[in-house]
Amino acid sequence: MSDILWTSAPPTWSNANGSFGKPTLLRFDNDNFMDDFMSMLANQPERLPEYKAQPETWQRPMNAPSPVKALPAQLRAIQLRRAGVFGALATNALATLEVDAEIEDLPLKLYQPSHMRYYMVTASLVCRQVGMPDRSISTGAQEKASFVVRRLMLKNPAAFPVGVTPPEPAAAPEKYEEYAFVDGAWQKAVDIHLLAPGEEQHPFFAMNYLQTDGYRRRLFGGLVPTGKRDAYLGAVEKTVQVAALPGSGGAAEAELDPRLDMQARRVFFGPWQQLIDTSDDLLNRLAEDAAGDNNSSQRQELTKVRLRLQETSWYLMLDFADFLAEHLPNVLKSLEGTPASLTTKESALVTALNGTKLYKDSPIDIALRLDEQFGVAPLQSLGAALGKIRAFRQKLETADVAYDGSGRGVTWPNFIFPLVDVSKSNLLSGAPQPFLTIAERAPFTAGAESASDELDSLRQVVLDAIPVETAVRLPAVPLAAQTPLKVNEIGWFVIRCVFERPNCFPIPESLLSDSSEPFQIAGFFDPDAPARPIRIPLPMDTSPAGLRKFDKNTAFMVSDMLCGQVQRARGMGLGDLIRSVLPFPLHKDLDISNEPCEDNGLTIGMICSLSIPIITICAFLMLMIIVNLLDIVFRWSAFFVLCFPIPKFSAKESA
């Protein structure tokens, strides 16, 4: 397409200064930016350079262009005729723009709509002819114009260790390379002048306007997606699978979908590790406050913790059994006692699960330690528990009270198998540690030195047993589990305009413009970002006489279970909450029962209608209290609030 050319916006041609072929970035500072843009093109298009984006901060903002004067069509035509052939009326806007010397050296940083900043990329598609007429786009031939956002990455990041700031792309473009955004990931652009297959494209819209010389032009514009900053900076690097070369030993061995690993962590192994950490913290705290073996308050707290650990263990094992039923059905059948054909790795998993014992102690010690609290017999292995847990799904799913150890299988399962346990013998030991459900003498414990190693080893045995090729639908990998591409680098981006002719034979063609000026995208909490003005009026008359006038029309639907919890919470005071976290002898447990709301033996829920103005006042006061409390840690009170007096702003008129 040597006869077609992307250029900057025509009103900037007289002051291009080497950016003739680059898209022009425009900056707007209000939510009516589209109206301002259209009004400027319709009335004074020669003023477009005044909107060109420049480096700015909230302390030194860019000078906003003066409002555009709307002119009647006839008066505009008269002025254009008086302007002459080459637009003597046009103002050399770029030459008159003043840039602060301190700001000029800063990088171009684009802020987000939440900062009340909007940016548009503009360009013109012209023919390489005298006068550079606009190139028409044939929609019938499926031609289209768009733009792409590309990330600039250092070619050799090792050359800039920690503490060494790399040069900016504008100063050293040869040290950077472009990455295209493909399927939510960054992929190195093989040819920066070609559109990458599947690359994300953003739409252009076309605007026609009349130049000062009376010539009608078309300008393409598009909104820069600054709101996608987190998606861009958090994206991973996309790897392209390459077939094995002849003689290289064949194709690479297929690997298990990493989403299976994340699902196993999320469903079972991650919560199990959290139980271990929570129990460890509890034991260490109680050990510091221990007052002897006969500390009744301490024993009561241990009792509650053990019951809660067992209840959580049931639900985790139920979810893990469902995981096995979906991905390793034969393994679960074997655990449930149904004959099934197992592979070698599946057999190893069954052995590992059956070898995951409750404690290192003898079965008699286990029974004595658990029966004193739970009143039902414990199972001896994780495999046995997984084989029985699904039979109690209905009981677990319909339980509406916390486990208190008194169900005997009526409300809860008729067996116990805590994944983590605590008891007096834990507490009285020299170095208190929770009793872990371990895999003693199981094949996967070799080299395990901690609870995390034990769990990782067991998880690996589970993953090894899952077939690589599976047709089961899997959830997406959580964002927190994705490793961003070079997180230690500042995000530099450029924009290129794209013109496509898909019906061009024999090879479909695409024309990319030169790259725009490199820019960064500011984060939501960027210290240089301007703050959007927000005004929240609070109720003026906060006396009972004034608050009673507000309508209570915000309803909360409360179930019978939540109703009971709310009623118990309403009976607690600040002193109760403080004493619940104090050490012995000041410690006092919260009196929390398990019963839902009832009325004459019938469980009931509630619908509560609240006053939003009162809620707003409470939120404001709680904010001030919490900020003052946490000032001990953050020392931020001097930077939090700035108040100005408002004379005669009274809630009530004086008598």
pLDDT at res. 443: 41
Closest CA to 102 of 142, 154, 59: 59
CA distances from 53 to 18, 147, 197, 495, 595 (A): 16, 18, 30, 14, 63
pTM of structure: 0.71
Q: Would you say 211 and 124 are in contact if contact means Cβ atoms under 8 Å apart?
A: no
Beta strands at 420-421 and 4-7: parallel, antiparallel or unpaired: unpaired
Residue that has been written with the tokens 């820019």 in this structure: 519
| Helix %, strand %, coil % of the chain (to 5) | 35, 15, 45
* Residue 370: both structure tokens together: 């658990």
Q: State the sign of the Cα–Cα–Cα–Cα dihedral 115, 527, 54, 522.
A: negative
What angle, rounded to 10 degrees, do the helices at 344-354 and 382-389 form?
A: 100
Per residue in 523-558, pLDDT (tens digit) is 999 999 999 988 888 888 888 888 888 888 888 888
Q: Is 194 exposed, middle or buried (0-12, 13-18, 19+ CB in 10 A)?
A: middle
- The 8 Å CB, 24+ separation contacts for 237-245 are 237/179, 237/185, 237/186, 237/187, 237/485, 238/182, 238/183, 238/185, 238/186, 238/187, 240/187
Cite the DSSP H helix spans in 175-295: 229-233, 258-264, 270-288
Q: Which residues of the chain, if any, have pLDDT below 50?
A: 85-96, 241-252, 291-294, 362-364, 367-368, 409, 428-431, 439-448
Per residue in 39-86, pLDDT (tens digit) is 999 888 989 999 999 999 999 999 889 888 877 766 766 766 666 544
pLDDT at res. 229: 92
Q: Which helix (H) or strand (E) holds 121?
A: strand 118-127
**HEC assignment per residue over 494-541:** EEEEEEEECCCCCCCEEEECCCCCCEEECCCCCCCCCCCCCCCCCCCC
CA distances from 302 to 100, 162, 351, 391, 427 (A): 66, 48, 33, 29, 9
The number of helices, as runs of H, and strands, as runs of E, in the chain is 19, 19
pLDDT at res. 90: 43
* Residue 200: both structure tokens together: 């994300």
Distance CA 339, CA 329 (A): 12
